[in-house]
Structure 1
């Protein structure tokens, strides 16, 4: 009776697509949970991204790595990550940077150079991992997690390295942001000077600026403008690293150094967001989406973190970054007051 009937089988393409999609959905679900938990006391200080990474690390080291979803998780940690960086470009208002002039960009460039130089110097002295330390130096000097996410593919960083770097930079950034908020009324600085100080030395907003957007002047005296300048300089910095590594043939990396084409998308979205009449509500929605996708990508990376390796790998680079953060804060303060 069944003669003439052809039994259908799932195509290989469909079979491959299913775990890929489920893996991406898994990272989105964890990121959603991390975002929800980040509104709780204490966790509201560290933010959704770090909370999502912590959930991913906790899952990996208790339940285990979901091998069946590996393709989708890796897709989130690589492709979704790059797409989030492209969307992140909408946060960058180039017109604000042009209006503030070259002097602010010079301060920002000095902050980036100092952060990377001090981090790498201390890392060399204490024997910290070079690549993880460099990621932390870039994150400290530029704009935290987004800068690490942009630089990691160029440096051919391991997924565990990237996740550890993002977690450390988010944690240390939170500590310094709270310290800045505590010291604000105790420092002999005007609101404008304090804004410039936080803008050129903090990679994360202090609590008084937590809800500020690139097009708002809600932070005192140009804090947002200072951060915009550092985000702007992330593009030439990462391109420079990519070109330098390609010329060296990846001698100190693992071989094929990818060119960061996603940064071209970042530049394009920056130009679109700056010069095209896009409604503010839509820009805010895109900004929120970019942050959520970045958190989802960090979940994909965080699932590769082994707690057994964390102490050995993280402590020395973190010490180098903490030293660089203190030096940057002090140098920025004396630059502004003298």
Structure 2
């Protein structure tokens, strides 16, 4: 009876493989950092400052992929940025959520936020089904529209097991649409027959991202901006129950499809913990200065931009043209309906 010998790599080969892996990891992370920094520089230019560093970095990554191809030698580091850094950034994003203010404002704000989220998801998914748009990309856009744009898409993406290119496309689309709508808001504000506070509430309950809300509300003054951000943070708070609902849905779907294992998104627990830390420990006792909190926010944005760079490198322009147009139409229609209905409900 012949015995098969187990061939193990020599120590030298193991060291070389480990070294190659480390080089790929470090250089890949550095590569996403360079593009992320370039994204921030681009976002500071006139015109591009409205769409933000996330979208600019994704645009640079997409262009690089089409011109030079995917940098396979840096794959390990790029995947680290697109997956590990993404989850860590979402955890730190929880510091932006002030639960004390939200709880003090009570039920009405939460109710309005809930209605916005349900409306966005249901309407966009109905339109997407009618247009025969890609399901996962449409679902990401519906959650991003209802809650908080790119951050919501990044949080939900691992839960629904979306492809990296879908996540990147979703972030790019929602940045574009949200920017266009926020600019339209600022242009029409002088002609609206509502006061600054009502305008702020409308902005906060209907626009996509916190940056879009700040951009649209600022021209109406500090009171409008404060009301807008409060309404927006209420929707950010609702990201927590929405994620858990999607987890249950995916778990049920997994059982139907015969999946043996469901991966719990532990980063969501980190998001909740950091929300409580920021609200009840740091916020109450002023243990951390505003400058440190600002630095943490900048660091979070940098990590999120690096992760989006990694995702953007997976996008093929051919697939983008064929896959994104119908979800884009769906989000435009949904955003218009959401803006109109929330305005007339003030």
Report the TM-score when normalising by structure 1. Answer: 0.92
Determine whether 1:314 maps to 2:324: yes
Show the 5 A alignment for 1:1-338: 10=15, 12-205=17-210, 209-210=214-215, 219-220=224-225, 222-249=227-254, 251=256, 256-276=261-281, 277=286, 278-336=288-346
Do the aligned partners of 1:177 and 1:205 also contact (CA within 8 Å) in 2? no
Answer 1 or 2: which has greater helix percent: 2
Q: CA deviation at 1:15?
A: 2.9
Q: CA deviation at 1:209?
A: 2.4
Cα pair distance change 1:252/1:144, threshold 3 Å:
farther
After TM superposition, the structure 1 stretch with the greater mean CA deviation from structure 2, 161-170 or 279-288, is 279-288
Q: Tell me the residue number matched to 1:4.
A: none
Q: Tell me the residue number matched to 2:5.
A: none
Q: CA deviation at 1:211?
A: 11
| Mapped partners of 2:275, 2:244: distance in 1 | 16
Do the aligned partners of 1:212 and 1:218 also contact (CA within 8 Å) in 2? no
SS of structure 1 residue aligned to 2:22: helix
Q: CA deviation at 1:257?
A: 4.1
Q: CA deviation at 1:247?
A: 2.3
Q: CA deviation at 1:8?
A: 7.5
| Mapped partners of 1:176, 1:21: distance in 2 | 39
Do the aligned partners of 1:34 and 1:51 also contact (CA within 8 Å) in 2? yes
Do the aligned partners of 1:137 and 1:321 also contact (CA within 8 Å) in 2? yes
Q: CA deviation at 1:14?
A: 3.2
Cα pair distance change 1:158/1:207, threshold 3 Å:
closer
After TM superposition, the structure 1 stretch with the greater mean CA deviation from structure 2, 316-325 or 220-229, is 220-229
SS of structure 1 residue aligned to 2:158: helix
Q: CA RMSD in A?
A: 2.3
SS of structure 2 residue aligned to 1:155: coil
Report the TM-score when normalising by structure 2. Answer: 0.90
Cα pair distance change 1:87/1:205, threshold 3 Å:
closer
Q: CA deviation at 1:210?
A: 3.8
SS of structure 1 residue aligned to 2:298: helix
Cα pair distance change 1:250/1:176, threshold 3 Å:
farther
Uncovered stretches (5+) of structure 2, i.e. residues with no partner = 1-10
Q: CA deviation at 1:220?
A: 3.2
